[in-house]
Homo-oligomer: A and B are copies of this chain.
Amino acid sequence: MKLTILGCHSATPRINTNPTSQVLEINNHLFLIDCGEGTQVELRRNKIKFNRIKHVFISHLHGDHYFGLIGLISTFRLLTRETELHIYAPKGLKELVTLQMKLANSWTNYQLIFHELSSNISELIFEDDKVEVYTIPLDHRIYTNGFLFKEKPGERKLDMNAVLNNDIDLAYYNKLKQGFDVENNQGKLIKNKEVTKDPEKPKSYAFCSDTAYNEQIVEIIKEATVLYHESTFLDKHMQLAESTKHSTAKQAGKIAKLAEVDHLILGHFSTRYDSLNEFKEEAQTIFDNVELAEAGKIFNYSN
């Protein structure tokens, strides 16, 4: 699992700060998460192949999270893309993109498939044999979702010494990997757990931006490998965080602790702060394993 940050600041794009966008690579998928203005240039800068992006997830329809999407859709068309593109976004985006296409008297030469979101409870919005994606309903000024990307559990691993000692026929190995008990060549029932080991813990990534402090998400993101939680403000600007329905670094730390995640990444920083170290220090008063997002930074979570 690999996360590339394209932009991690709030509000307006500036010379050295990009609005929210990131790419998650998980089980050979390349998921684009949010798409602020300038995202297509950042994709180029980070040498991410446009054609590998087949799914785009948009948290909410504030501009700093989606104003780059229509340009990306157009660029895909100009590059004669044929691969279909799925867009998971709040209801309304389809109408908007349709109107923009109509005004330009054009449409895409590839299939553009909108999955419009409007539920206020967590739902499964993507699934294949290896990965699931769930929404994480957030608490912001407009309808907003985070997204939980989860690897499905892999097959159980054979303990080959135990398998051979128990004289189990090759034909049953797949059954063992799938977790079943099997009979050995002497007709004795062998308990699965005696001859297999747990698979590696499936990895998961929870993207939570933008949101006020909201303990209701803890249950959904429980024990995630990585939590990206917005921290627009520092604790000293708590009033601003409350009035704009954003979080502080300390609050992000609290959510990480309650959810017992392995890693916390902070992002969506207000451009009012010159140095971001205080964000890390503040979150670390609550939760140890904290890193700061940064445009161009890559987070690798390999086994």
Task: Please state the number of chain copies in the assembly.
Answer: 2
A-side interface residues, number (CB < 8 Å): 35
Residues of B within 8 A of A40 (CB): 12-13, 37
Asked if B68 and A37 sit within 8 Å, CB to CB, the answer is yes
Q: Mark A61-75, 1 if CB is under 8 A from B, else 0.
A: 111000110110011
A44: shortest Cβ distance to chain B, in Å? 6
Q: Are A142 and B105 in contact (CB under 8 A)?
A: yes
The answer to whether A236 has its CB under 8 Å from any CB of chain B is no
Return A28 CB to nearest CB of chain B, in Å.
Answer: 26
Instruction: Flag whether A162 is at the interface (Cβ < 8 A).
Output: no
Q: How far is the CB of A144 from chain B (nearest CB, A)?
A: 11
Let me know if A171 is at the binding interface, CB within 8 A. Answer: no
The answer to whether residues A41 and B14 also contact, given A96-B100, A96-B103, A142-B105 and a CB cut-off of 8 A, is yes
List 15 A–B pairs whose Cβ atoms lie within 8 Å, in order of A's numbering.
A12-B75, A13-B41, A15-B45, A37-B40, A37-B71, A38-B41, A61-B103, A61-B104, A63-B70, A63-B71, A67-B74, A92-B103, A93-B103, A96-B103, A99-B99
